[in-house]
Structure 1
Amino acid sequence: MPNLAQRSLEAMFLFVYGTLCQLYRPLRSWIGAGIFCVFIAMTAAVVHVFPLSNWDMFAYTATVLEPEINDPVELHRQSYAFVKDNVSEGEYLTLTQDRAYRIRQAEDPAAFTTMLGFYRIKILYVETARLLSDFMDPVKALRMISLASAVAVGAILLVWMARTGTLMYGPVAAALLVMSAFGDAAQLLSPDLYATFFLVLAAYLYLERLDLPAAVSLFAAFLVRPDHLAFIGVFFVFAAIYGPGRWSMTACFAASFAAYLWLTGGADHPGWWIHMWFTHVEYVPTLEGFDPPFSVSGYLLMLVRSTVRSLMSQTWLALLFAEVLFFAKCIAPAKLNDRARVLLYAVFASICAKYLVFPHYETRFYLPYLVIMGMILLVSWHRQQERV
């Protein structure tokens, strides 16, 4: 039998809990939305005050400046000067002196120029930065894209939750973003979050039966990061099989594939295998004359190495497993509408396909897909619970 102290403590706990529940229920949507908005505002503030620096800043800055500067030496000088003006002395030292590759890039304009093919291909990201650089220096323009993208992604998710009556799950959506490396992607100078904006927007528009705007948004995501062609291709296949959005997704895939051939042919991109080797095996100091032969064993080693790194230091595999487990245990597939089913299956399949084609180990590369999967599962679970 519980003693008096135990009964009193439990009664007090139940009273406080019951009172809080009574206060929370009528305001739960406002509270959920408020918590989510605070999280997005906090992320934006951190991105503005404490942005992260990475070596790609030099290459993206040079790509933005290229139309105005024909001389590789001057392009190199100005790119490094702009970055130096926007980072601390210690950060600049790290970015230019902490390893042989960075030292060579800082000292050799010709070697630096050979790297730009990796970056020119992100055409919409670069062109957006060029547009903004009319009002600020290129580094600030690139950081502005990350900041604006973080806010825009938050706005889309807020609208998504409002439209589906799930605003009370704002804290869950914030946790989903945390686990998907949203903050890291926002702080870095990279096109990842910009592409995430278009992909999440496309997912929302598709679920809202706005197929043409969804296709346009998908194409924009491809222009920001052409490796999202894998998702567009898988999405096209599932849409063709199930029906919803079949023709819009077919047109989107055709346009994206044609654009990919044009981009890879005209942006001096070194090609898939060289990019794989450069990313996973060795940062060679220059791509001039670099052409390693394809190796099946080398490719398999890259897969193993990336998987180990993902498990040891990243969250995307764990989150993907959690989402799959949630689907298996909490979702009735037969009760999913066709559009949610098409999108959910396409996103999962594309994660697998992208990893096999190019095994990135960092969570930020899977951010949009994990968020889209999470939102579909959250909304579907909520609707199925309402029917119980």
Structure 2
Amino acid sequence: MLTRPSPPTNPLERLTGAGLAWGEGAYAKWAASIGAVAFSLYILLTASTAWFMPDANWDMLPYLAIAEEGAYPDPQALHDYAYSTVKAGVPAGDYKTLTDDGGGFRSHMAQNAADFHSLLGMYRIKFLYAEILSSLSHVVSPVDAMRLVQVFSVLLFGAVTLAWLRAEGALAMAPVVGAILIMA
């Protein structure tokens, strides 16, 4: 025979039980709204992080180079453009990290325009990204153009994901999707 446990006598246990019961009921009632808001906050936080705390990585250099390849047909001029643009657009410490690794790959590429130019073929595969960067670079600085593309991509991904979850009737699962994205 199943027996019901005796009601808690401790006021803290009663308060905790009442709070959990209310939270369970509220989430059951507004699960889709809570899920959408939680996921939206995650996406907005990610987008603002991409804008306010950008990650400068070495791939910026070749992507900026292929974006303006038409304007700088000479490998040395293209190399100088890419490196000077990044130097002007990132903090000095980040630029040093991108160009000086104590004689390794990054240092070599910063010194050798021909070798830098020989790597650009691997980056041409993302031709649409390069075209977008080239177009945006006429409006904002090239480094800011990269940041805008990152922010827009995050926001677009979030909107498409929310639309998909809504179409599937699974907005309540949006926080789970956010958790999976954090772990991925």
Local SS of the residue matching 2:83: helix
The answer for unaligned runs of 5 or more in structure 1 is 181-388
Give the CA deviation at 1:8: 4.9
CA distance in 2, matches of 1:94, 1:7: 59
Asked if 2 retains the 8 angstrom alpha-carbon contact of 1:35 and 1:171, the reply is yes
Q: 1:97 aligns with which of 81, 95, 100?
A: 100
Structure 2: distance between partners of 1:55 and 1:19: 51
Aligned equivalent of 2:28:
25
- Per the TM alignment, residue 5 of structure 1 is displaced from its structure 2 partner at its CA by 6.9
Residues of 1 paired with 2:99 and 2:22: CA distance?
A: 58
Instruction: Give the partner amino acid of 1:147.
Output: V
For residues 86-114 of structure 1, the C-alpha deviation after alignment (integer angstroms, 9 at most, x for no partner) is 11111111111114211111111111111
- 1:44 is matched with 47
Q: Which has the higher contact order (CA 8 A, sep 6+)?
A: 2
Report what 1:169 is aligned to: 173
Confirm whether residue 110 of structure 1 aligns to residue 109 of structure 2: no
Q: Is 1:54–2:63 an aligned residue pair? A: no
Q: Distance in 2 between matches of 1:148 and 1:31?
A: 24
- Point out 4+ residue stretches in structure 1 off by more than 6 angstroms: 2-6
1:64–1:138 Cα contact (<8 Å) kept: no
Letter in 2 for 1:63: I
TM-score (norm 2): 0.89
Equivalent residue letter for 2:152: A
* Secondary structure in 1 matching 2:151: helix
Specify whether residues 18 and 149 from structure 1 end up closer, same or farther in structure 2 by C-alpha distance, changes over 3 A only. same
* Structure 2 equivalent of residue 88 of structure 1: 91
1:151 aligns with 2:130: no
Alignment of 1:205-354 (within 5 A): none
Partner secondary structure for residue 44 of structure 1: helix
TM-score, structure 1 normalization: 0.44
- Deviation, 1:150, is 0.5
Between the aligned partners of 2:66 and 2:97, the Cα distance in structure 1 is: 21
| Cross-structure match for 1:132 | 136
Task: Say which of 118, 122, 127 aligns to 2:126.
Answer: 122
Give ranges in structure 2 of 5+ residues lacking alignment: none
Alpha-carbon shift at residue 29 of structure 1 (Å): 1.1
Structure with the largest fraction of helix = 1
Task: Report the residue type matching 2:131 in the other structure.
Answer: E
Residue identity opposite 2:75 in structure 1: P
Structure 1 residues 69 and 146, CA gap change in structure 2 (3 angstroms): same
Alignment root-mean-square deviation, CA: 2.0
Tell me, yes or no, if the aligned pair for 2:60 and 2:86 is still in contact at 8 Å: yes
Task: Work out the CA distance in 1 between the residues paired with 2:117 and 2:94.
Answer: 22
Aligned counterpart, 1:271: none
